[in-house]
Each structure stands twice: as structure tokens, then as C-alpha cells.
Amino acid sequence: MRRLLILGAGTAGTIMAHRMRSLLDPKEWSITTVDQRKTHYYQPGFLFLPFDIYRPKQLRKPIRKFIPSGVEFIRQPIDRIDPASDMVFLQDGRSLPYDILIIATGTDIAPQEVEGMCGPAWRRDIFDFYTFDGAKALRDKLREWDGGRLVVHICEMPIKCPVAPLEFAFLADSFFHEKGMRDRVELTFVTPLSGAFTKPTATEKLGHLLREKRIEVVTDFAIERVDHAEQKIVDYGGKEVPYDLLVTIPTNMGDAAIERSGFGDDLNFVPTDRATLQTQVKENIFAIGDATNVPASKAGSVAHFESEILSDNIMRYIEGKPLKDEFDGHANCFIETGHGKALLIDFNYTHEPVEGTFPFPGVGPLRLLRESRMNHYGKLAFRWIYWHLLLRGHHIPFVSATMDERGKNFGNTVSSKESGHG
């Protein structure tokens, strides 16, 4: 028996377990997945939980429910990978040999990276919504908060779902309007980028929406520390932004097991070929999803697109064929803009998001980079698609793994070089 080992049973690891189990002969290949958790979270729902739009139980299900039959699941923290001996060591002392390894350990928040963030004010007047516990604590806070300065803040890039902080600001505007207290809330969006988003055309559109909703924007803010006694964030240039309630996206980092294995970059992301998804660590080690250092968005939709190319490439590797360098960084994301509307963006490494129609060129029915109710319903439908199609590795109808250039109004905006992460 040969052994395929998958580290992480989140979005990407679960999809790969399904795809590889259907491709590999069970008489020749065993498949094992390892994860420290027993619960699978629908992370896009963390955006809605603070506003009481989703309830906690809609966002979590047992991990085992999504492990396909014929795949072993080990619930245990991973200690480290030893590429030289093709072995993974678990924290309980077990060692797992492999012929092929897929790293899908994702990324998590690291609030300890910024001085003063994890002090006594953490989850009192400083919150995150990138974790289940954080989003739930913020929901409780927002239920009783009676207004003041709300600052939505990104520490540094890359972060998973780079549009989520903007969506949070838009939803906050909508939430306070509905509660009849918008005039008692000063909303500020603070970013290390030079604009609202990483790509120019979307930045213009989103910047306009921020102004329309009276959300002040502070750009180029490289945070140095949080002064929780004075309730302000301070950047390296001495700029200060005061807050009553800080909703921050802390630094996102790959897992410490990658650091212990000795091959991560300075944020513990795995050096990975952006087109084949083979790692630069060793030829029998592949990586997918948020764990990689590829300059695509860190998003569930991206992990799904990557899985179609990666499963093909693993089969080619086993058959001794050259790998296909086909992953183009395709990302597809709804951006909730509040008041029951949303935008949709579709882009890749070389083409920024522009206006157009999706998924059928010229027909739609979804409109790209334009607010609509239909897009909002698309965002809500994504939860069903996630649990029932995406996680099980099914192809999403009419959406290809690589980006379709048809139906998009590129005009002069086609960017021939990438413009940063996500």
C-alpha cells in the first residue's frame, strides 16, 4: 500500500480527501487526514454572526461528517514534518510515514504579533471576527453597545478573505441604521494598503461606497502598537486613531507546525509553485489553500479552484508525467455591502476585478462589480453550496477552475502584472 497523507481537514483538506479518494485505487492507496479539531466551521459565516444574521449552530458541523468513507481521520495536533525521512510527527508522539503529502493547514490570527493587542482589553473593547469565539463575543458586545467610535482595522496583508473587513464595515453601517443609532456611531476603516482593496478598479468602486456610507478611511497605516489604556492604535509614523470599539483583523499566520518543520516564510506560509501547487520543499509535498504563499486570495473559492488542478497534478506526479502549470490564481467572491445588497468580483493573478456578467457572458444573471440584491442572495446561497457541493469536492456548475475572460469589460484595465495578495 502507498500512503497519501493530508494535513488539515478544513476547507481545502476536506475537498482534497474527497477528490483523491475518488481518483486513487483503494487497493493501492491509503488516505489519511489529520486535524486537531472536531468541529468544521463555515468561516464566511463569521462575518454575519456579530450582527445576529446567522446563529452559531448554522456555522459548525462535526469534521467527521465530511470525511469520505475509505479515508482515515486522526484527531491530533501535528507537531512537525520531516521531508528528509518522508514522515510527519504528531504531538502525541505518533509518526506517520507518507509517499505523498498535501499540506492544508490554513492560516489563523496571531494577535500577539502586535504590542498591546492581547492585553486586558482583548474581547472587552478589542475584538476579532476571524474566529468563531471572536465573532460570538463581538455579537454579545454589539447587542449592548450604545455607540461611539467604531474602528475596523487590518494589521497587515495577506489576510484570508481580504474583502471581509470592508464587508464588516458596510454591514455595521446597515446594522446601526436598522437599530436607529447610526448617528451615534463614527465608523472608520483603517488599512495598511493605499486604498480600500488590493486591486485598482475595485478599490475605486469600494472607496466610493465607503464615502457614500460615511465611513472614514485611513490608509497606509502600519500599526506599531495598541494603546489600550488610551484607546488608540498607533502606527510607525506616529499616526494615531482613537477608538471606543476596535474590530481588528490581526496578523494572519500559517501554523506553527510549518515553522517547526523549518521551511515556512516569515509568516509560516509554505513556499509553493503558484501554477502547479507543488511545494519548493520536496517534489512529493504539495500545498493548497491558505497555507501556501501563492499570491492568490486566501479564500474557500480559491481552495476549490486549486483542488481541481492539484488533484490532476498529483495523478500526473504518480504516473511520472510533467505537472500542469495551470492554476491562474482564480478567485471569486461576493462582497456584502449592507442593506440587502452585494457586489461580486471574479479575478486572477493577471486580471483585476472589472464590471461584466457572471457566470454566463453577456447574460449573467449576476453582475460583476455592481451592487444588487441578486448578488446578496448569491452570498447567502454560498452557505448551502459550501456544505453540500464545495466541501465534497463537487464541481460548481458553470464555474471553471481557471478564470473565464468572456463577459468582462476589461477596457484598458487588464493588468499584466499581479497587484499583490488577493
Q: Which residues bind ligand FAD (CB under 6 A)?
A: 8-13, 34-37, 43-44, 46-47, 77-78, 104-106, 129-130, 160-161, 164, 255, 257, 289-291, 298-301, 303, 333
Q: What is the distance between the alpha carbons of residues 301 and 163, in angstroms, rounded to a whole number?
A: 13
Q: Work out how close the CB of 213 gets to ligand FAD at its nearest, in angstroms, rounded to a whole number.
A: 20
Q: What is the distance between the alpha carbons of residues 307 and 416, in angstroms, rounded to a whole number?
A: 25
* Nearer to ligand FAD (CB atom), residue 11 or residue 231: 11
Cell numbers describing residue 333: 467572491
* Nearer to ligand FAD (CB atom), residue 121 or residue 399: 399
* Nearer to ligand FAD (CB atom), residue 59 or residue 241: 59
| Among 273, 289, 236, residue whose Cα is nearest residue 107 | 289
CB of 396 within 8 A of CB of 307?
no
Q: Work out how close the CB of 8 gets to ligand FAD at its nearest, in angstroms, rounded to a whole number.
A: 3
Q: Work out how close the CB of 416 gets to ligand FAD at its nearest, in angstroms, rounded to a whole number.
A: 26
* Nearer to ligand FAD (CB atom), residue 44 or residue 356: 44
Q: What is the distance between the alpha carbons of residues 409 and 178, in angstroms, rounded to a whole number?
A: 35
Q: Work out how close the CB of 292 gets to ligand FAD at its nearest, in angstroms, rounded to a whole number.
A: 8
* Nearer to ligand FAD (CB atom), residue 21 or residue 160: 160
Residue nearest to ligand FAD according to CB distances in the complex: 10
Q: Work out how close the CB of 390 gets to ligand FAD at its nearest, in angstroms, rounded to a whole number.
A: 9
CB of 241 within 8 A of CB of 190?
yes
* Nearer to ligand FAD (CB atom), residue 105 or residue 201: 105
Q: Work out how close the CB of 298 gets to ligand FAD at its nearest, in angstroms, rounded to a whole number.
A: 5
Q: Could you tell me what percentage of the chain is helix, strand and coil, using 3-state DSSP and rounding each to the nearest 5?
A: 30, 30, 40
Q: Work out how close the CB of 109 gets to ligand FAD at its nearest, in angstroms, rounded to a whole number.
A: 9
Cβ contacts of 218 within 8 Å, gap of 6 or more:
188, 189, 190, 191, 239, 241
CB of 277 within 8 A of CB of 289?
no
Type of residue at 129:
F
* Nearer to ligand FAD (CB atom), residue 65 or residue 321: 65
Q: Work out how close the CB of 388 gets to ligand FAD at its nearest, in angstroms, rounded to a whole number.
A: 15
Q: Work out how close the CB of 323 gets to ligand FAD at its nearest, in angstroms, rounded to a whole number.
A: 20
Q: What is the largest CA-CA distance in the chain?
A: 66
* Nearer to ligand FAD (CB atom), residue 102 or residue 233: 102
Cell numbers describing residue 167: 464587508
Q: What is the distance between the alpha carbons of residues 243 and 125, in angstroms, rounded to a whole number?
A: 9
CB of 340 within 8 A of CB of 373?
yes
Q: What is the H or E stretch that residue 127 is in?
A: strand 126-127
Radius of gyration of the chain, Cα coordinates, nearest whole angstrom = 21
Q: Work out how close the CB of 334 gets to ligand FAD at its nearest, in angstroms, rounded to a whole number.
A: 6
Residue 319: is it exposed, middle or buried by C-beta count within 10 angstroms (0-12/13-18/19+)?
Answer: exposed
* Nearer to ligand FAD (CB atom), residue 78 or residue 277: 78
For 17-30, give one letter per residue: b (16+ CB within 10 A) or e: bbbbbeebeeeebb
* Nearer to ligand FAD (CB atom), residue 188 or residue 301: 301
| Among 16, 52, 45, residue whose Cα is nearest residue 334 | 45
